[in-house]
């Protein structure tokens, strides 16, 4: 069965329109957790560069705390992604709905 692209996109938009808030939250969670995953190695690189250059322990501690904070934020966002996709306000998750 061949559906033209214009009809397919209209059908998809009709289906996703009521879910746009959930999709927005899920997109925010995905992009934020991806951003944290990209920033964390940069913090480690900064820490290593500062350690090799003989930086003060307070600077190294600050970089280490930044890394731990970014990692904790990343864990929270990665944990929230499956829950936000599964739970819908006012409805049971699909897996728990009675058929």
Q: Could you tell me how many helices (H) and strands (E) the chain has, helices first?
A: 3, 0
Judge whether residue 88 has pLDDT over 50: yes
Asked if 29 contacts 84 with a C-beta cutoff of 8 angstroms, the reply is yes
Confidence band, pLDDT 50/70/90 cuts, at residue 97 = very low
Confidence band, pLDDT 50/70/90 cuts, at residue 29 = confident
φ and ψ at residue 17, rounded to 5 degrees: -55, -50
Average pLDDT score over residue span 13-35: 83
Q: Which residue has the tokens 């944990």?
A: 79
φ and ψ at residue 91, rounded to 5 degrees: -135, 155
- Position 90 scores a pLDDT of 53
């Amino acid at each position: 069965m061949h559906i033209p692209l214009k009809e397919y996109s209209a059908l998809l938009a009709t289906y996703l329109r009521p879910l746009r808030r959930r999709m927005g939250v899920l997109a925010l969670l995905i992009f934020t957790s991806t951003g944290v995953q990209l920033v964390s190695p940069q913090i480690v690189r900064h820490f290593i560069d500062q350690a090799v250059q003989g930086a003060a322990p307070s600077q190294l501690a600050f970089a280490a705390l930044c890394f731990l904070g970014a990692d904790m934020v990343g864990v929270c966002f990665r944990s929230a992604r499956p829950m936000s996709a599964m739970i819908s306000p006012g409805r049971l998750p699909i897996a728990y709905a009675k058929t």
